[in-house]
Amino acid sequence: MTMFKKFNRRPDRNVSIIAMALFMQMSGMSLVGPLLPLYIKHIGEYTPGQAAGWTGAIQGITFFMGALFSPVWGNLGDRFGRKAMLLRAFFGMSVTMTLVAFAATPAWLFIIRMVHGCLGGAVFASIALVSSFTSEKRIGATLAFLHTAILAGNIGGPFLGGILADAFGFRACFLITASILLLCGVLISVFVNEQFTRPVKEATYSIRDNFRYFFSNRQLPVISLVLLLVQMGQMGLSPVLPLFITEIYHSKVMVSTVVGSVFAVTGFSAAVGASFWGHRADKKGFRPSLLIAIGGAALLFLVLPMTARLWQVYPVRVATGLFSAGIMPMLQSLVALNTVAARRGAIVGTVMISHWLGNALGPVCTGSMAAAIGFRASLAFSGILFCAAWIVAAAGIEEKRMEEI
């Protein structure tokens, strides 16, 4: 219980509703995420290596389009309201996820997920909206609360998705996720209030202005590079790990359920560890806490390809979740601490280009490597990326305490 006492006040209704929507969204998206390579293999009768390659390309284009549109949506949010951007994300993803359920070929999946990337970004739209009405003294705790909701959504989704896929097929899972995203949009529309006053033309900033501000700040490019490397390593697992698990599982019974359970235990441990890292960063500093979290995750990512049995994968992934849980909220807090409040929404969108690019490049790299040189080498590549992230963070990130603002 002590970890929850670090929140000085209960989150207000807006934050609570947004957190609930993010929890539901991540539950739905994590329900189908680990199933994508298995779905591609099912509809196309592809080999595991070919399925990994297609999965990498499909996930890569999704996140590449997200990177392309992230600063655009951030800029429009500052001009017309962040709530509108959040509704665009939820309703748009609901439509594209429905289309995924009826895709007959990987090529159609590629096109649909391209549109999905253009319209998505609910997490970052939520960060921009919450940051717009949260005081600087509580920004760290509030973002940690949202991140805990996101991680909690990853707990049951993969396991439930595996069970549903084995029982009812893959398409039912995609339709369930589309329904969840639609419900999230309705909740935000009805219950979240935004006190937004459209700025006069002279008080607005162009996308070019935001990029100038970004590059004039010494810390933001470094944080973005760390974010890029971490996300490449994290998302690089998605097209490879499910197929790697099926390779060492040595059974054809309840394969989707087993794959989902591995992702579920990772999400559970991450949700448990998020509050610890938030408390530690507030007490002992963001930089040292970030270095420990990235370093521990890097070591565990390098251990993963050495596993030879399914039971060995579980403790490695549990420990990975505990360390990786603190990385994203600490990086987000550092972005907020290094950005003036008037530009925070747009700069979040600018920094998140690195997040989207990492999500895009990671699956493409590891998916291609898996098809060419095998699963274990591609999994080890993720660990190397985390090591590079640790080096950049150690060399470039400076500690910035709240009282220095």
CA gyration radius, the chain = 20
pLDDT the model gives residue 315: 92
Q: Residue 87: which of 113, 115, 126 has the closest Cα? A: 126
404 part of a folded domain = no
For residue 4, tell me if it sits in a domain.
Answer: no
**Residue 72 located in a structural domain:** yes
CA atoms of 162 and 127, how far apart (whole Å) = 30
In total, how many domains does the chain have?
Answer: 1
Give domain status of residue 302, yes or no.
yes
Please report, for residues 153, 240, 298, 317, 376, the alpha-carbon distance to residue 25 in angstroms, rounded to integers and kept in the order given: 7, 23, 28, 22, 31
One-letter amino acid for residue 51 of the chain: A
Does residue 132 lie within any of the structural domains?
yes
Q: What is the pLDDT of residue 200?
A: 59
Q: Which of 187, 199, 214 is nearest to 83 (CA)?
A: 187
Q: Where are the alpha helices (DSSP H) in 192-254?
A: 207-216, 219-235, 241-249
pLDDT reported for residue 225:
95
Q: Which domain holds residue 369?
A: 13-192+207-397
Residue 302 CB neighbour total at 10 angstroms: 17
Q: Mind listing the pLDDT tens digit of every residue in the chain (405 residues)?
A: 344 344 444 557 888 898 888 888 887 777 776 677 777 877 777 777 777 778 778 877 887 888 788 778 877 877 777 888 889 999 999 999 899 888 888 888 899 989 988 888 788 788 778 877 776 666 666 777 787 788 777 676 666 666 776 677 778 888 888 888 999 999 999 888 877 666 655 556 677 887 888 888 889 999 999 999 999 998 888 778 888 888 887 777 777 778 778 877 887 888 778 778 877 877 778 889 999 999 999 999 999 988 888 888 899 999 998 998 888 888 887 887 787 766 766 777 788 888 888 877 887 788 778 777 878 888 889 999 999 999 999 998 887 644 444
Rounded to an integer, what distance in angstroms lies between the CA atom of residue 45 and that of residue 32? 19
Residue that has been written with the tokens 């990975």 in this structure? 320
Question: Which residues does 272 contact at the CB level (< 8 Å), separation at least 6?
Answer: 321, 322, 325
CA torsion through residues 97, 101, 103, 109, sign? positive
**CATH code, domain carrying 162:** 1.20.1250.20
Kindly state whether residue 200 falls inside one of the protein's structural domains. no
SS (H, E, C) 74-98: HHHHHHHCHHHHHHHHHHHHHHHHH
CA 39 – CA 33 distance, rounded (Å): 10
Domain membership flag for residue 73: yes
Q: Which helix (H) or strand (E) holds 352?
A: helix 344-373
Q: Is residue 260 part of a domain?
A: yes
Q: What is the per-residue DSSP string for 125-151?
A: HHHHHHHHHS-GGGHHHHHHHHHHHHH
